[in-house]
C-alpha cells in the first residue's frame, strides 16, 4: 500500500517526539495560578448571593456532591441552578472550596459553549450515530482539490452545535444539532460571524497582552547638576527695551535646583513585547548665583555694573520618542527596557536680577533658539495595583547632544541620570 | 461529531505510548491522590501536577501550533481548562491521556479561532513540495523534527499530528475536523511527502 513506505518516517517521528519534554516558560505557573484565583474569587461572592435556596444544611454534603458531578457532567447553562443550590447548602467551610470549584466548573460551562463543545464525555461512549455524521459530510465535494484550502475552510466551519446545550445534556440530543451544523458546509460561506461566540465572555480572564498605555509622570533629574563651568557672560535683554543688551557676569558657580520634569506619555504596542511611545514633557530648570549686570552701549562699551543676586529659569517643552521592550510580563509586574530620544524647545529663558543696593529688580531675557535633542536609555519596573492602574519607576540616563548655543544648563554636563516616577494605565 | 475526540477510544498505539512514557509505576499510584487534592483547589498540589505535566504538554502544544508564543497561550489555556474541568476525569484510562486530549482540543480550538491558517501560504507551500532544504539524516534529533513539523502548513501539520502522533484514524479525524476521510488521507500523504522531502535520504 502506498502508506507502507512511510512507516519508517512515522516511526522516526513517533520514536523521537512522543513523550518528549520541553522547557516550560517561566512565569507561566504564576499566570495560571492568578487566573484560577480570579475565577474563584468573584464566584465565591456570587455563591453567597445565590445562597437563597431552601436546601437544608443536613443534605448539604450529598447535594454538593450531586451538584458537583451533575454540573461537571452536563456542562449546561441551567446546571448553574443545581450548582447554586449546592453552594447554598454547603455553607460549611470544609467543603466550600470543593463546591466553589463545582460552581466554577458549571459557570465556565455556562460561559463557554465552546468549552463544553469539546468537553470530554465521561462515559467515553463511542460516537453516537457516526453514520449520520459521515453521510452529511461526504457531499462536501470530493472534487474540491484536496487542498489545504478546503481543510482550512472546513476547520473554520467546525462550530459548537448550539451555545447552551439542552438541560438534559445527554449525548443524544446533541446529535440533531451536529447534523444541522455540518449542513452549512455545502454553502462554502464562512459562517464564523454568524456563529455564537460564547467564549468571548471571558471564561477565563484572558491573558491578553497590552495594547496601549497612558501615563503621568514626574522625572527628577539627579546627578550632573553640579556643573563645572558655568555659562560665560550671558547677553540678555530687558523685554521692555529689547534693543538694549545687558551683560550678566557670574561671580560664583551656579547653584542648581533639581529639575523635575513633568509629562504624560502614550505607548502603543506593536507586538507582544515591543511598544513605541511618545508624549509631552515640561521641564523647568532653575539656578541661582551672585554676579553683576551692566548695560551695554550700542558701541559695545559697558556702563557701570551693578552687583545683583540672580535666578535664572529655563522652561522646556519636549516630545519624546521611545521604544520599549517588555522583558517580564507578569499579571502584577512588568519590567521593561527602553531607549529613545527627545526633542525639546526652550519656551523661555528668564533672569531675575535683584540689585544688591536695593535699586530694584529687573527681569531680563535671553532667546534660546533651536531644538535641544537628547538620547536616553533605561529600564522600568511597574507594579499593577488594580486593572488598569499601576505605578512605575524607570531610572535612566540621558545624554544631551551638543548644540551651537552654549547657554543652556546642559552644555557642561550633558550626561545625566534621572528617574521617572509615574502612574500608568494600561490596556 | 464534535464530541468524538472525547468519546474516542484511544488507539491502542496511543495508550501504549502514553503508558510507556507515562509516569513510573509508583508515581501512578500517587497520581490519583494528587488529583483529588487538585480537585479541591489545593494550589500546591496543582503546582505539582503542573510541574509533572507541563513539559510534555508544552511539546504537544508546540507541535500543533508551530510557534512558541501561540503554544504558550495554548498551554496556559489548556491548564486552566484542565484544572477547572478536573471533575470530569472519571478515572478510566491514564490521566495523561485525558490531559493530552484537553491540550489537543485547546490547540485545535485556537487554530480555528485565530484564523492563523493563511490560505495563500498553504497553497504555495503545498504546490512547492521540494523547495525545502533537505535536512541531513544525522542531525535528526528532537529539535530538528519539531522544526520540520512547525514548517508544515497548518492543515498538513494538524492531520499529521492527529494521525501519526495521536493515533486517530482518518475516520475519526474527518469527523473531528469536518472534512472527508479522503481529504484527511490526502493531507496526511502530502504532509509525509513534504517531510520526507526535507529529510535527505542517503
Grid cell for residue A211:
495594547
CATH class for the region spanning B137-201: mainly alpha
CA distance A74 to A116: 9
CA distance A389 to A402: 38
Pick from A36, A73, A157: which is nearest to B80 by CB? A36
Report the phi/psi class of residue A320: left, alpha or beta, with left for phi > 0 and alpha for psi in -120 to 50. beta
Fold annotation for B2-113: Rna Polymerase Sigma Factor; Chain: A (1.10.1740)
Q: What are the backbone angles phi and psi of residue A229, rounded to the nearest 5°?
A: -100, 135
Gap between the terminal Cα atoms of chain B: 43
Residue pLDDT tens, chain A, 427 long: 455 567 788 888 888 888 889 999 888 999 999 998 888 776 555 444 444 444 344 444 444 444 444 433 343 334 334 333 433 433 343 343 443 343 333 444 433 433 333 433 333 443 343 343 333 333 334 443 334 434 444 344 444 434 444 444 444 443 443 333 333 344 444 444 444 444 444 444 445 678 889 999 999 888 654 555 566 677 888 777 777 788 888 888 778 888 889 999 999 999 888 999 999 999 998 888 888 888 887 777 888 888 889 998 989 999 999 999 999 888 888 999 999 999 999 888 888 888 887 777 888 888 777 788 899 999 999 998 987 899 999 999 998 887 765 555 666 677 888 999 999 998 8
* B 71-90 residues inside an 8 A Cβ radius of A: 72-73, 75-77, 79-81, 83-90
b/e A203-213 (16+ beta carbons within 10 angstroms → b): bbeebeebeeb
Preferred mutation among A102, A111, A148, A192 to probe B, highest tally of B CBs within 10 A: A148
Q: Residue B18 pLDDT more than 90?
A: no
* Cα distances (Å, whole numbers) of residue A139 to A134, A148, A184, A191, B181: 9, 18, 11, 18, 12
Q: Are B135 and B199 in contact (CB under 8 A)?
A: yes
Q: What angle do CA A303, A309, A312 make, to 5 degrees?
A: 100
- Whether chain B has a CB inside 8 Å of the CB on A17: the answer is yes
Q: Domain spans of chain B?
A: 2-113, 137-201
Q: A271: buried, middle or exposed (CB in 10 Å: 19+, 13-18, 0-12)?
A: exposed
Q: What is the DSSP letter of A25?
A: P
Q: Residue B83 pLDDT more than 50?
A: yes
Grid cell for residue A403:
548644540
Q: Residue B27 pLDDT more than 50?
A: no
Q: A219: buried, middle or exposed (CB in 10 Å: 19+, 13-18, 0-12)?
A: buried
Interface contact A22-B62, CB threshold 8 A: yes
Q: Which chain B residues are closer than 8 Å to A23 by Cβ?
A: 55, 58
Interface contact B175-A100, CB threshold 8 A: no
Residues B99-130: pLDDT tens digits? Answer: 999 999 999 888 877 654 333 333 334 444 44
Q: In this predicted structure, what is the pLDDT of residue A269?
A: 92
Interface contact B90-A122, CB threshold 8 A: yes
Q: Are A5 and B39 in contact (CB under 8 A)?
A: no
Q: Are A165 and A208 in contact (CB under 8 A)?
A: no
Q: Are A76 and A116 in contact (CB under 8 A)?
A: yes
Pick from B76, B122, B187: which is nearest to A28 by CB? B76
The string of DSSP codes covering A335-380 is EEEEEEEEEEEEEEEEEEEEETTS--EEEEEE---SEEEEEEEEEE
Amino acid at each position: 500500500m502506498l502508506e507502507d513506505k512511510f512507516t519508517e518516517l512515522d516511526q522516526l517521528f513517533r520514536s523521537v517526539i512522543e513523550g518528549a519534554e520541553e522547557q516550560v516558560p517561566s512565569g507561566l505557573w504564576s499566570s495560571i495560578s492568578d487566573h484560577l484565583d480570579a475565577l474563584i474569587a468573584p464566584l465565591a461572592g456570587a455563591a453567597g448571593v445565590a445562597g437563597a435556596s431552601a436546601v437544608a444544611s443536613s443534605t448539604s454534603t450529598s447535594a454538593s456532591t450531586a451538584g458537583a458531578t451533575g454540573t461537571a457532567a452536563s456542562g449546561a447553562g441551567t446546571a448553574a441552578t443545581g450548582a447554586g443550590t449546592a453552594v447554598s447548602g454547603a455553607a460549611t467551610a470544609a467543603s466550600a472550596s470543593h463546591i466553589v470549584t463545582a460552581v466554577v466548573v458549571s459557570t465556565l460551562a455556562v460561559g463557554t459553549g465552546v468549552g463544553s463543545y469539546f468537553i470530554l464525555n465521561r462515559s467515553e461512549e463511542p460516537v453516537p450515530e457516526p453514520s449520520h455524521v459521515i453521510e452529511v459530510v461526504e457531499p462536501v465535494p470530493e472534487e474540491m482539490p484536496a487542498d489545504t484550502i478546503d481543510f482550512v475552510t472546513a476547520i473554520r466551519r467546525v462550530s459548537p452545535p448550539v451555545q447552551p446545550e439542552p438541560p438534559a445534556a445527554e449525548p443524544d440530543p446533541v446529535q440533531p444539532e451536529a447534523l444541522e451544523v455540518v449542513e452549512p458546509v455545502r454553502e462554502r460561506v464562512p459562517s464564523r460571524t454568524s456563529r455564537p461566540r460564547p467564549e468571548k465572555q471571558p471564561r477565563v480572564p484572558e491573558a491578553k497582552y497590552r495594547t496601549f498605555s497612558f501615563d503621568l509622570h514626574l522625572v527628577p533629574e539627579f546627578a550632573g547638576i553640579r556643573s563645572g563651568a558655568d555659562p560665560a557672560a550671558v547677553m540678555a535683554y530687558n523685554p521692555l527695551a529689547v534693543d538694549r543688551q545687558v551683560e550678566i557676569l557670574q561671580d560664583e558657580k551656579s547653584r542648581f535646583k533639581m529639575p523635575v520634569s513633568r509629562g504624560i506619555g502614550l505607548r502603543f504596542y506593536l507586538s507582544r513585547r515591543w511598544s513605541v511611545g511618545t508624549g509631552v514633557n515640561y521641564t523647568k530648570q532653575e539656578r541661582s548665583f551672585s554676579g553683576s549686570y551692566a548695560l551695554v552701549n550700542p558701541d559695545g562699551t559697558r556702563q557701570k555694573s551693578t552687583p545683583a543676586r540672580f535666578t535664572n529659569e529655563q522652561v522646556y517643552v519636549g516630545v519624546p520618542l521611545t521604544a520599549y521592550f517588555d522583558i517580564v510580563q507578569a499579571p502584577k509586574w512588568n519590567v521593561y527596557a527602553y531607549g529613545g530620544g527627545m526633542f525639546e524647545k526652550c519656551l523661555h529663558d528668564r533672569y531675575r536680577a535683584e540689585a544688591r543696593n536695593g535699586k530694584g529688580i529687573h527681569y531680563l531675557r535671553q532667546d534660546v533658539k533651536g531644538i535641544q535633542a537628547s538620547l536616553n536609555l533605561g529600564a522600568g519596573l511597574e507594579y499593577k495595583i488594580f486593572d488598569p492602574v499601576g505605578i512605575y519607576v524607570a531610572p535612566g540616563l540621558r545624554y544631551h547632544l551638543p548644540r551651537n548655543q552654549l547657554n543652556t544648563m546642559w552644555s557642561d554636563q550633558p550626561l545625566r541620570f534621572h528617574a521617572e516616577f509615574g502612574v500608568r494605565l494600561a490596556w | 461529531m464534535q464530541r468524538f475526540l472525547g468519546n474516542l477510544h484511544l488507539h491502542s498505539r496511543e495508550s501504549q505510548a502514553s503508558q510507556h512514557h507515562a509516569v513510573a509505576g509508583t508515581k501512578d499510584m500517587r497520581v490519583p491522590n494528587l488529583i483529588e487534592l487538585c480537585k479541591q483547589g489545593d494550589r500546591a498540589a496543582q503546582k505539582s501536577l503542573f510541574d509533572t505535566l507541563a513539559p510534555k504538554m508544552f511539546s504537544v502544544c508546540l507541535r500543533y501550533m508551530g510557534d512558541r508564543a501561540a503554544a504558550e497561550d495554548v498551554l496556559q489555556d489548556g491548564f486552566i481548562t484542565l484544572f477547572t474541568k478536573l471533575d470530569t476525569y472519571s478515572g478510566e484510562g491514564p490521566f495523561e491521556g485525558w490531559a493530552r486530549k484537553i491540550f489537543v482540543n485547546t490547540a485545535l480550538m485556537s487554530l480555528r479561532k485565530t484564523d492563523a491558517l493563511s490560505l495563500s501560504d498553504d497553497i504555495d507551500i503545498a504546490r512547492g513540495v521540494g523547495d525545502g532544504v533537505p535536512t541531513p539524516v544525522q542531525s535528526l534529533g528532537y529539535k530538528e523534527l519539531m522544526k520540520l513539523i512547525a514548517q508544515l502548513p497548518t492543515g498538513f501539520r494538524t492531520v499529521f499530528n492527529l494521525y501519526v502522533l495521536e493515533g486517530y484514524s482518518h475516520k475519526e479525524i474527518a469527523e473531528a475536523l469536518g472534512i472527508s476521510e479522503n481529504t484527511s488521507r490526502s493531507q496526511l500523504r502530502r504532509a509525509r511527502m513534504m517531510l520526507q522531502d526535507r529529510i535527505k535520504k542517503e
